[in-house]
Amino acid sequence: MKKNILILLMSFLPLFGFAQKHYKLIEKTPKNKPAWLTNGNTFGAFIIQASKVATLEEAQNDVMMSLLNQVASSIAVQVIGEMEKNIDWTVVNLNGKSKEQYIEEIRNNTTVRIAKMPALQGFSITKADVYWERYRNKKTKEYCYDYYIRYPFSSFELDELISAYNAQDKLVNDEIDNYKNILEDIENVDVMLENINMMKTMMQEYGEEDIAKYNKLKNNIYLYEKTIGNIYIEVLENTSGKLVIQLKCYDKVLKTKLLPQLKGECARDFVKKHNGNQIEINFNTFDCFEQDDNYIEIKFTFGKKRITEKVLINL
């Protein structure tokens, strides 16, 4: 695999000229500019600058954030190169973008995700060579800093981070695949709904920028919703003032913490409770007459799916 270490090399001379014109140099450390700043030698390192920052703490935060973005961009160059090969342009919705714009959007989103990798949290200012200068604005009399770091970063470290990203990416893909693999074994509608919500959250995170993950999640949600749509209500007992029901999908009995909504033609005073996998419904039939059609409508709402059954009760 070809490795590209992205080095941020600033053009400092115009900035120095500007600084001397509008700012007075008050303090610097060390007394002389380091060689890595003056000779432009950036081999195996990033050079990052924060210019005219109010405090040293803010300057450190700025250069470290920029450093993480640069490292993430270096990893993204490799990752996107592999991802681009696998894009099926026949199923991609470009939304008016060109393919180049679409790839750039993927690169930007991937870079943001990479910057949040746990493996990148080990970067510390203590590992960098640091040089800063303190200035006073000749007009406003306010003080500010120019802050520079040289952060060592080798091809070996890049390889390690790419491997860490690929390992993390594999975990995500395995998680997505697992949602599909366990569907047939789930015996609780609430778990199905929880999984759908988690997959929708993942879809929002990846969007269509990672089309492979997006499509797999979309297909998984379709399978879950199709399964929920095939759930039906089975009546196990229908006696005077009592119904016992259960939820089934094909031959599998399903649990749920929810209790049904009930609507009676004449039945009143409903009392509902769970009894294992079954739901017991008790009611009074004082206002019911045998010559009437005495129905109770039983309804469950699972996400966007409504499951109803109209049961003619026995008196």
Confidence band (pLDDT; 50, 70, 90) for 201? very high
Look at residues 220, 172, 211 and name the one whose alpha carbon lies nearest to residue 86.
211
Which pLDDT does position 280 carry in this prediction?
Answer: 97
Per-residue pLDDT tens over the stretch 83-142? 777 777 777 777 788 888 888 887 887 887 788 788 887 888 999 999 999 999 999 999
Cβ contact 266:258 at 8 Å: no
Which pLDDT does position 9 carry in this prediction?
Answer: 38
Q: Classify 307 in phi/psi space as left (phi over 0), alpha (psi -120 to 50) or beta.
A: beta
Per-residue pLDDT tens over the stretch 252-296? 999 999 999 999 989 999 999 999 999 999 999 988 888 777 899
CA 167 to mean position of chain CA atoms: 17
Which pLDDT does position 256 carry in this prediction?
Answer: 96
What residues have CB less than 8 Å from 303, skipping those under 6 apart?
Answer: 193, 196, 225, 228
Q: What is the DSSP string of 95-139?
A: TT--HHHHHHHHHHHHHHHHHT-GGGGG--GGGSEEEEEEEEETT
Between residues 197 and 22, the one the model is more confident about = 197
Confidence band (pLDDT; 50, 70, 90) for 7? very low
Cβ contact 295:264 at 8 Å: yes
- Return phi, psi of residue 146, to 5°: -105, 130
Which pLDDT does position 208 carry in this prediction?
Answer: 65
The tokens describing 161, both together, are 């981070």
Between residues 178 and 293, the one the model is more confident about = 178
Q: What is d(CA 188, CA 258) in angstroms, rounded to the nearest whole number? A: 11
Which pLDDT does position 44 carry in this prediction?
Answer: 85
Between residues 33 and 18, the one the model is more confident about = 33
Strand partners, 146: 133
Cβ contact 135:26 at 8 Å: yes
Which domains, from first to last, does the chain contain?
13-160 (no CATH), 231-312 (2.60.40)
Look at residues 27, 35, 38 and name the one whose alpha carbon lies nearest to residue 145.
27
Which pLDDT does position 3 carry in this prediction?
Answer: 38
- Calculate the alpha carbon distances from 151 to 42, 48, 123, 124, 286 in Å: 9, 8, 9, 9, 83
What is the chain's length?
315
pLDDT exceeds cutoff 60 at 15: no
